[in-house]
Amino acid sequence: MTQADPSSISAPLVLQVEPHEGGARLDAWLCTRIEEMSRTRATEHIAQGHVRLLRGPPGAKIKPSLQIHRTMTFEIALQPRPQMSAEPEEIPLRVVYEDDDVLVIDKPPGLVVHPAAGHESGTLVNALLHHAPQVQGLGDEVRPGLVHRIDKDTSGLMVVTKNERAMRRLAADFAAHRLERRYAAIALGQLSQDELTVTTLHGRHATDRKRFSGRVREGKAAVTHLTVLARSPLTTLVVATLETGRTHQIRMHLAELGHPLAGDALYGGVRPHQKTERTAADLPWLKRIDRQALHAYALGFRHPRTGELMRFELDWPEDLREVAHGLYGDACRLPSLSEPVHGQPPPLA
């Protein structure tokens, strides 16, 4: 995949269609060949004349649906992305802990973390700028103070930094995996192993740009450790411990194991189940899950100023609490950071 700086105009890219790529749509092919190129941006580049056919059938009409083949070579003049900024908004935050350096919050499901196309306002960052104005200008323009993120429909713990020193130190700890992160997940089907480590590459899905896949030829490593806590006829309750923190990593890995998160429509976690004597008890609970059943329930890190070990844990969020109890009874209790699980990193203490 070609890397390019999408924020500024650079020299045109010249890309030749590889033999195995023939038959794809032009817009989809551009997404697979240019890092960070979305389907929407590819369509815009084509419509605005920034994609030219250098070699191929004469008179071929350059349009998003053009079927490419190996005789074709294209020139793409990458255009800068529109500049985006975030403004303070009075949005309530669930603050778990706060001092002059860090802010730990309990992010509710449905809240987008930072502004992006389609979500220019109403995000966690907009709320942060109102709650802690000093984060303005700290790092990225639309991600001030952020050293990690969780998906819109994932609930749970996030830490935000409030000054340059804290951001630099915590960002380094995240990059070096010097922290503790655990997620509670309700997956469809029954995982056969009680403990499992999933190691794959991580990259954009070949045909769906909203998804990620471990079945790619090039990409960064993605490692997830899974511990089964309980099983019901249709589901498995899992604790996922991250060794790496790629986008959609847990969602991707469970889906490619054949056990997508319950409620995760993007990765196949919404599906019909036949009502039988065996499955009847699970079905009402599954119907109550209206987002991916993933909760970042535990987070541990060293305080960037004092070095003190900071550990935070949450119970199930309101929308999943009754579901978890209904499916697993008392077995839905989430193990604390002091209780070992598979793949747990060396303790920070």
Phi, psi of 50 (to 5 degrees): -90, 5
The angle that helices 26-33 and 39-47 make with each other, rounded to 10 degrees, is 120
Say if residue 273 is exposed, middle or buried (CB neighbours under 10 Å; 0-12, 13-18, 19+): middle
Pick the catalytic residue: 27, 140, 151, 194?
Answer: 151
Provide the pairing of β-strand 195-204 with 220-231: antiparallel
Tokens of 189: 């089907």
HSE (side-chain half, CA atoms, 13 Å) at 237: 23
One DSSP character per residue, 148-213 reads: ----TT-EEEEEEE-SHHHHHHHHHHHHTT-SEEEEEEEEES--S-SEEEEEEEEEE-SS-TTSEE
Q: How many CB atoms lie within 10 A of CB 98?
A: 15
Closest residue by Cα to residue 110 from 120, 122, 96:
122
106 is known as an active-site residue? no
Cβ pair 223, 244 in contact under 8 A: yes
By C-alpha distance, which of 200, 324, 191, 209 is closest to 260? 191
Are 4 and 48 within 8 A, CB to CB?
A: no
Residues marked as catalytic: 151
